Amino acid sequence: MQLIYMYYIHTPHYLCISFIQSAVPMCILRGYVAESPITDLVAAAKGQQASFNTAHLLPHGHEVTAAVDAVAQAANRRMVQSLLDEAPSKTNNVITKSICTSTIGSMGTCVGALANTTALLLTLVSFDPTSDEMENVPFLHYAARRIAVVVTSKEYIWYAKKHVCNANIHYYVFNLFNRVHATASKVLMDEGSIAAASPGNGDALKGVVNKSYLVLANASLNRGLEHIKNVCADAVIVEEVAIFTHSVFGRTASTASGTPKRHSDEAGGNAQEPKKVKKEKVAKTVNSGAINCINGQMINMPTTWPDGETPLCGGVLRNGSKGCKNPKCSRNHDKPPAWSKALIQHMKSHVKADKNLTWNPLVMTPDILGLDMNKVP
């Protein structure tokens, strides 16, 4: 894989792309950087992401801990199987799903993403992270630092203290950096610019590099920062962006659930808190099933079953679920030790074919799966 890094040198608005030379075709290279802004962070967190995007810079919250643990367990099990020279038919599938958080709950989440941007860039090139001179630092650091200075200012903090819910402006800040990042990344579609910016050419072909995307990204950055400053001064109402509308704080979630959301009047700061209803705590029972579903997705059950076999119950089969709540359920509730050999082979093929499913090693042991580990003489 090629490592792509964009930065300014010598002259403002001159983009240079330095990279480690390899034989990766340009059509493959484009897939590693997202060029479209995120409009639904919840959907982006649940879906398959084949390319790096701004959401991966957000700090992880508690909501993604289970998903990260599931991916790590599957990866560790595959590594052990590979070290023991297991046959390919007996090893777990490779999980390529990337993990990112789905909610921006505070200003700290935005600042964390901006700080992670600079930290990532420092692993690729040396520069002064305290500088915001466009000529001497990476453009993404330049943009991240300018946004961070505004959102950590006393004006922004005072504005936030006057409102009960500040999710709208937090999402606006992330959306601003996301669009700047996506706009600047579009230069990776320009093969002529990439060839002209090759380190072997030096500055000889700098006039050939397409500067329009960086000019647009910088203009978008300036407009967004000006809007944030006007909002903090109570001159305008914060603009509601699509990524906020599709969030748990937005109107879409409130309308769909039919419950009032905690939302403030961004202009005057008058907020009405919904009445809190005390609910009795009920102890939750967790089912220990044979199959893990990555990132909380629904379990995908087979459409066909071996002859003479009763279809398995998905509620009992899924690990971490509430189990089967239907007293009249006619499906098979047996645990894996009671399954027939034909049913075990059928489920092994099904789990192997679905990258969102993995076995729960606490229930589906190697003896049940028929994984005889190679022995060292």
Q: Which residue has the higher pLDDT, 207 or 147?
A: 147
Residue 54 has pLDDT above 80, yes or no: yes
Residue 223 has pLDDT above 90, yes or no: yes
Angle at CA 245, nearest 5°, toward 239 and 250? 105
Q: Do both 219 and 338 map to the same domain?
A: no
In a domain, 276, yes or no: no
Q: Do both 109 and 246 map to the same domain?
A: yes
pLDDT, one tens digit per residue, over 288-316 is: 888 888 766 678 888 888 888 889 888 88
Q: Which residue has the higher pLDDT, 115 or 323?
A: 115
- Once rounded to an integer, what is the mean pLDDT over residues 20-33? 36
Residue-range definition of the domain harbouring residue 177: 4-60+100-257
Closest to 173 measured CA to CA, from 227, 214, 217, 215: 227
- Once rounded to an integer, what is the mean pLDDT over residues 212-217? 87
In a domain, 284, yes or no: no
Angle at CA 59, nearest 5°, toward 65 and 320? 15
- Once rounded to an integer, what is the mean pLDDT over residues 50-58? 77
pLDDT value of position 49? 62
In a domain, 265, yes or no: no
- Once rounded to an integer, what is the mean pLDDT over residues 77-86? 77
**Lowest-confidence region among 6-10, 214-218, 240-244:** 6-10
Q: Do both 22 and 138 map to the same domain?
A: yes
pLDDT value of position 266? 42
Instruction: Quote the DSSP letter at residue 199.
Output: G
Residue 225 has pLDDT above 90, yes or no: yes
Q: Do both 340 and 205 map to the same domain?
A: no
In a domain, 146, yes or no: yes
Closest to 288 measured CA to CA, from 259, 318, 260: 318
Which range, 262-266, 283-287, 346-350, has the best average confidence (pLDDT)?
346-350
Q: Which residue has the higher pLDDT, 161 or 79?
A: 161
Q: Do both 317 and 362 map to the same domain?
A: yes
pLDDT value of position 228? 92
Which range, 96-105, 196-205, 347-356, has the best average confidence (pLDDT)?
347-356
pLDDT value of position 275? 54
- Final residue in a domain of this structure, among 238, 257, 276: 257
- Once rounded to an integer, what is the mean pLDDT over residues 159-180? 90
With contact defined as beta carbons under 8 Å apart, do 259 and 332 qualify?
Answer: no
Residues 6 or more apart in contact with residue 210 via CB below 8 angstroms: 15, 187, 190, 192, 193
Residue 270 has pLDDT above 60, yes or no: no
In a domain, 227, yes or no: yes
- Final residue in a domain of this structure, among 257, 283, 310: 257
Q: Do both 206 and 156 map to the same domain?
A: yes
Residue 329 has pLDDT above 80, yes or no: yes
- Rounded to whole angstroms, the Cα distance separating 55 from 34 reads 10
Q: Do both 301 and 243 map to the same domain?
A: no
In a domain, 123, yes or no: yes
Q: Do both 126 and 214 map to the same domain?
A: yes
In a domain, 111, yes or no: yes
With contact defined as beta carbons under 8 Å apart, do 60 and 116 qualify?
Answer: no
pLDDT value of position 149? 92
Q: Do both 126 and 223 map to the same domain?
A: yes
Split into its structural domains, the chain has a count of 2
Q: Do both 108 and 168 map to the same domain?
A: yes
Q: Which residue has the higher pLDDT, 65 or 86?
A: 86
Q: Do both 220 and 298 map to the same domain?
A: no
- Final residue in a domain of this structure, among 257, 276, 300: 257
Q: Which residue has the higher pLDDT, 347 or 56?
A: 347
What's the mean pLDDT when you consider all of the chain?
75
pLDDT value of position 187? 80
If DSSP codes are grouped into helix, strand and coil, which group holds residue 220? Answer: helix
- Once rounded to an integer, what is the mean pLDDT over residues 78-101? 72
In a domain, 124, yes or no: yes
If DSSP codes are grouped into helix, strand and coil, which group holds residue 142? Answer: helix
Q: Do both 245 and 320 map to the same domain?
A: no
